[in-house]
Structures are given as structure tokens and as C-alpha cells.
Amino acid sequence: MQRILIQPYSNGLRSALLKSGVLTDLAFERPIVDKQAKLDDVLCGRVLSVRRDFVWFDLGLNIEGVVKTSLFQHTKPTEGDYLWLQVARLPWPEIGNIVHHEKGYRLTPHITLAGRYWLHHPFARRESKWIHRSAAYGRSDEDPVLVEEKEELYRHAIRLHVPPTKLGIFERALTQWQRWIRDAEDNVVITCETPAVALLVKEWVNAHCSEKAHAVTLALQTESQLFECFGIEDRWAEVLSPHVMLPGGGSLDIRELAAATLIDINTGGQRDDFFQVNMKALKSIVQQIRWRNITGNILVDFVRLSKTTQTDFLKHVVEAFHGTDVHVMGFCELGLLQLQRTRHRPSLLMELMPQCPTCHGDGLVGGS
């Protein structure tokens, strides 16, 4: 059974996904702003300029957007053209002394409409525009649920075949908790802390996911803090801290920087059995990357791994990350484990923590 917890928090909603009582995902989302797009939103843009590497678009928002010129495989757009686009990467927030939103939204003209069982590419130049998602494996295409979802996605696609004329957001993408409900493989219990949140969830399920309404159970938790009640408040505080304690001693030190995320393992004074410390750290790193939504380049400094032991330990690393979206690159010449994860949106820490005006993200207190 899956359980989703949704709670108002810091001018937004924080949510958690538990499978069989085990925490698997955390998320935080602020209220939708009219002049702000989210990942996977479909919008209309007007070409401002065409350059060698990028095409710049006016989106009718506070920030412009860019598309790699190479993505236009056949005909490049010209200045003044209106095009349907999809948000592939959000403007990056400030990290340290570097501001990462000079290029605005990273966009793509290859629009994908995602459902529970289908992926639809309305502008694909191939016969098969419909792709089964993993949830559809073993089901027949004549299954009424699959047929209904396919018809709904087709109705959305039809609207995109009308040439755009108005700048701005055309269709909003799902929030994280909405994706969890849509992708749930069995019954879901959704526990909300306030009646307002419960009403929001109920209205969305009835309007956009009605075929799963029978499998969704709404519950209200008002006696105490929701995350505390389910023992997740400590996990939430943990992902906002650079230090993570390991069972039995030792810790992780996690630093998110502009170019990469650095993870260092501390033994906590233990002088032997470094293999066990590294194995405990590896298990925790897999969890922390997912909970914190750490993306991009990730470098991990394990404890005392020689050239000969790196090869053997790499087998455990590959096994630990099997089935995740983390790509294991191997060990570099400096003895650091190199990992990569596709960077789409800011991490949980970046979403929640504004930059300090005194140290500008460097963790230092300015002198008087």
C-alpha cells in the first residue's frame, strides 16, 4: 500500500510518499504563479532572435527562454514565429556567488504529453507517436482504462495542432503529489493535515484522475503535526542539513555547489572496518540523492579505497543504484566516485533555502 502525506509548509505544500511504510520521496511545491512556469509546462513562445547555438524566445513571462538550435532538425524558426514549446529545465537559482538564470528557461519543441499508461508525442515525425509506459506492460490496448486515457491525451494533442497566437502558459504540468497519485499501482491513502488541502486533493482526483477515485482514500490528520505523526519530521530536518549521521557511527557531509555536489564520508573516529562504513554510507547516499533531489554531477569521497579495492567496491555501487535514474561513471584518478543525474529542477534544499545576504551561500559570517 502507498501513502501520501500532504501538509501546508512555508507558503507552499510539502509532501511525502511512503511505500509499505518506508519513505521513498519528499517534495516541496510553492503555489502556482501566473507569470512563472514549471517543469513540463506547455507554453507558447515568440522567436526573438536566432543564433548559431540557441534560439531565444519571448514567453510572456518574467524570464525569457532558449532552445538549442540543434533541436530544430528540419526547418529553423525565423524571428517573429510563434511556436509550441515545453519546459525542459527551470531557471537555476543562485548558488554561492553564481547566478544561474541568465539563459532563463531551457525549452524544447519536442513536446511530450505524459499519462499513467501512455506517452504521446503529438509532433513526432514517425509512425509511432504513442509509447507504452511501464505501468501498461501486460495490459491490452483495448483495456477501457488505457483507451480512455489515450482519448484524453489525444484531445489535448488536437489543441496543440492549432497554430499558437498568444504568449504564455497553455497547459500546466502535474505537481509531484499529483504524479504520485496518477502513477500509483495499487490503492493509495492520502493523509492531509487541513480540510483545505483535503478539498484540493479531492477536487483534483475527481476532475483529472476519476478512474482512480475508488482507489484513493482521503484521511485528515489534525491532532498533531502530520510529518511528526508518521516519524518523517526528522528526515525532513535531515535533508536540510549538510550533515547526515550514519547508524553505528560516522557521517556524511553533503555540499551542493554550482558545478557539482560533493559528498564526503567521515568515519566518526572508527579506525578499522572501513568497508562497513563505506557500505552504510552508500546505502544512505542512495536515499539522500532521491530525498534531496540532488542532480547534475555528484562526487563521492569514500574512506580509504585503494586502486585495487575500487574495482570490487564499484560492483556494490552499481548494485545499489540499480533501478534508479543515477548514472554511475566510475572512479576518477583522484579516487572519487563520479555519479550523474539529469538536472531538471532545483534540489529540495535550493527550493526551500533562500541565499544568505551576508555570506552569499559561502557559509561565512562577514566581519564588522
pLDDT in tens, 32-79: 777 788 889 999 999 999 988 899 999 988 888 999 999 987 788 999
CB 21 within 8 A of CB 43: no
Chain-centre distance for alpha carbon 44: 23
Distance CA 273, CA 280 (A): 11
CA distance linking residue 38 with residue 263, whole number of Å = 28
Q: Which residue has the higher pLDDT, 216 or 15?
A: 15
* CB 8 within 8 Å of CB 227: no
Which helix (H) or strand (E) segment holds residue 238: the answer is helix 233-239
Reading phi first (left if > 0) and then psi (alpha if -120 to 50, else beta), residue 21 is in: left
- Kindly report, residue by residue over 288-323, the tens digit of the pLDDT: 999 999 998 999 999 988 888 888 999 999 999 998
Kindly state whether residues 245 and 324 are assigned to the same domain. Answer: yes
On the question of pLDDT at 355 being above 50, the answer is yes
- Do 213 and 302 have their domain in common? no
Asked if residue 191 and residue 153 are part of one domain, the reply reads: no
Domain contains 268: yes
Question: Domain containing 201: what range?
Answer: 2-32+173-229
CATH number of 194's domain? 3.30.420.60
CATH number, domain containing residue 302: 3.40.630
Per DSSP, 126 falls in state S
pLDDT tens-digit readout, 236-267: 999 989 999 998 888 999 998 878 999 999 98
- Is residue 359 assigned to a domain? no
For Cα atoms 127, 131, 137, give the angle at the middle one, nearest 5 degrees: 135
Q: Is residue 24 part of a domain?
A: yes
Measured between alpha carbons, how far is 14 from 27 in angstroms, rounded to an integer?
6
Q: Residues 309, 302: contact at Cβ < 8 Å?
A: no
- Residues 205 and 161 both lie in one domain: no
Helix (H, G, I), strand (E, B) or coil at 157: helix
Angle between helices 176-183 and 195-208 in degrees, nearest 10: 50
Q: Where residue 272 falls among pLDDT bands split at 50, 70, 90?
A: low
End of a domain among 171, 194, 211?
171
* Whole-angstrom distance, CA of residue 281 vs CA of residue 317: 11
Q: Exposed, middle or buried by CB within 10 Å (0-12, 13-18, 19+), for 52?
A: exposed
Same domain, 221 and 282: no
- Considering the domain architecture, whether residues 134 and 203 belong to the same structural domain is answered as no
pLDDT, tens digit, 9 for 90 and up, residues 135-165: 788 888 888 888 988 998 999 899 998 988 8
DSSP state, residue 98: B
pLDDT above 90: percentage of residues in the chain:
39
- Mean pLDDT (whole number) for 103-126: 86
Tally of domains in the chain: 3
CB 52 within 8 A of CB 358: no
Are residues 122 and 185 both part of a single domain?
Answer: no
> Sorting pLDDT into bands at 50, 70 and 90, what band is 96?
very low
Residues 50 and 130 in one domain: yes
126 or 306, greater pLDDT: 306
Report the pLDDT value the prediction gives residue 350, as an integer from 0 to 100.
80
- Within this chain, do residues 217 and 149 fall inside the same structural domain, yes or no? no
Which of the residue ranges 94-98, 119-123, 187-191, 213-217 would you say has the lowest mean pLDDT? 94-98
Domain co-membership, 112 together with 199: no
CA torsion sign for 341, 346, 349, 355 is positive
Which distant-in-sequence residues (6+ apart) come within 8 Å of 183 by Cβ?
A: 116, 135
The pLDDT assigned to 99 comes to 39
Query: For residue 131, how far is the Cα from the chain centroid?
Result: 22
Q: Examine residue 364 and state whether it is found in any structural domain, yes or no.
A: no
Rg (CA), the chain: 23
Is 150 inside any structural domain? yes
Mean residue pLDDT across the chain: 86
128 secondary structure, DSSP code: -
73 in a structural domain: yes
> Measuring CA to CA, which residue among 326, 308, 247 is closest to residue 281?
247
Looking at the fold, whether 127 and 143 belong to one and the same domain comes out as: yes
> Residue 282 above 90 pLDDT?
yes
Which residue reads 504563479 in cell numbers? Answer: 33
Q: Measured between alpha carbons, how far is 300 from 337 in angstroms, rounded to an integer?
A: 5
Q: pLDDT-based confidence at 109, cuts 50/70/90?
A: very high
**360 domain-assigned:** no
Note whether residue 365 is domain-resident: no
In this structure, the strands spanning 65-68 and 54-58 are antiparallel
**Of 230 and 213, which is predicted with more confidence?**
230
342: which 3 cell numbers?
A: 539529469
- The answer on 287 and 274 residing in a single domain is yes
SS (H, E, C) 238-253: HHCCCEEECCCCCEEE
Q: What are phi and psi of 318, to 5 degrees?
A: -60, -40
Q: Which long-range contacts (CB under 8 A, 24 or more apart) does 154-161 make?
A: 154/120, 156/113, 157/113, 157/120, 157/122, 160/42, 160/84, 160/111, 160/122, 160/123, 161/122
